[in-house]
Amino acid sequence: MDPTPGNHNSSLRGETGLRLAAMVVIEELGENAAVYAATRAIILQKQGDEIGASTWRRVAPVIEEMQRKKSASPKAQTDSTIGPAGGTE
């Protein structure tokens, strides 16, 4: 994944774009996605890319929200407690 600085992120201005970006980062980096987004924001700001930094600052909380909802979902809790396959004996 190489989110390079620049003004090519105009499609991320809307909520849908932010959620799409968050999904891609989560898919690529898993539980490290929010830290990655926050780090990218800091790096881009230091490089003088305020637009890129602002975008990543908006993506990070969306990632956190999506991961929080996923870990709180009943399916996620059930999947972690599934025992061996088979019926009742």
Give residue-wise pLDDT tens across range 25-77. 999 999 999 999 999 999 999 999 999 999 999 999 999 999 999 888 776 55
Domain assignment present for 17: yes
Is 1 contained in some domain? no
Integer angstrom CA distances of residue 14 from 10, 20, 59, 72: 9, 10, 11, 26
Record the tokens describing residue 54, joined without a space. Answer: 């602002």
pLDDT in tens, 5-15: 444 454 455 78
Residue 49 lies in a domain: yes
- Residue in 44, 85, 76, 29 with CA at minimum distance from that of residue 12: 44
**Is the pTM value of this prediction over 0.85?**
no
Q: CA-CA distance, 83 to 66, in Å (whole number)?
A: 26
Q: Domain total for the chain?
A: 1
